[in-house]
Amino acid sequence: MTDSIYIPAIAGDGSLYPIEKMQAHLDGQLHLAVSVFVFDGDLLLIQKRASTKYHCAGLWANTCCTHPHWEERIEDCAERRLSEELGFTVPLTRHQTVEYAADVGQGLREHERVTLFSAQVDSRTLEIAPVEGEVEETRWIGPRELMREVRERPQDFTPWFRIYLQRFPGLSFAEAA
């Protein structure tokens, strides 16, 4: 399925401990994560996850998201993942941390404490190079079109992206970034 990667899980007392990523998802254990939103004005760069991903394959999501490796700084994680998935890096602004839980299929659950990051770019000059096995497709989308698509075809979007749009609408577009 995936390589054995250890990520920071959160104990009941708030302390962190390493857990294997797949185990965290099988157990629904609360763990750290990052989500990045890259904008050009009010257009958001979204990605379609590769069809080979171990969960939510082929679904649309925010620009990128992942889990920090054990003892990796959150900021470094967000920058790393932009490069690993989309082949670029840009300066990121750190925002609030949110928490959610969701069934992501195949007996897996996300239960994440997510630090959100954003960036403003010029899409005409940004060179996006989606990495095979990570991202099938990217596109820029405005708020009205995105909300319409999610309303009409929620099954085309990852559970966490739908949760972000529903519970934290200000996080979705540039005015909150």
| Catalytic entry in 65, 77, 79, 134 | 65
Angle at 131 between CA 36 and CA 108, to 5 degrees: 65
User: Is residue 112 among the annotated active site residues?
Assistant: yes
- Count Cα atoms within 13 angstroms, Cβ side, for 15: 3
Q: What's the pTM value of the predicted model, to 2 decimals?
A: 0.93
Quick one: pLDDT band at residue 148, thresholds 50, 70, 90? very high
Q: Which residue has the tokens 């700084």?
A: 73
Strand duo 108-120 + 31-40: pairing: parallel
- Identify the residue with better confidence: 85 or 167: 85
Q: Which tokens go with 84?
A: 């690993």
Binding residues are 25, 31, 67, 85, 110, 112
Domains assigned to the chain: 6-171 (3.90.79.10)
pLDDT at 4: 82
Residue 30 has pLDDT above 60, yes or no: yes
| Range of lowest pLDDT (3-7, 51-55, 115-119, 144-148) | 3-7
Binding residues for Mg(2+) are 85
Q: Report percent pLDDT > 70 for the chain.
A: 93
pLDDT at 168: 73
Q: Which residues pair with 103 in a beta bridge?
A: 109
Binding residues for Mn(2+) are 25, 31, 67, 110, 112
What mean pLDDT comes out for the span 93-107?
A: 93
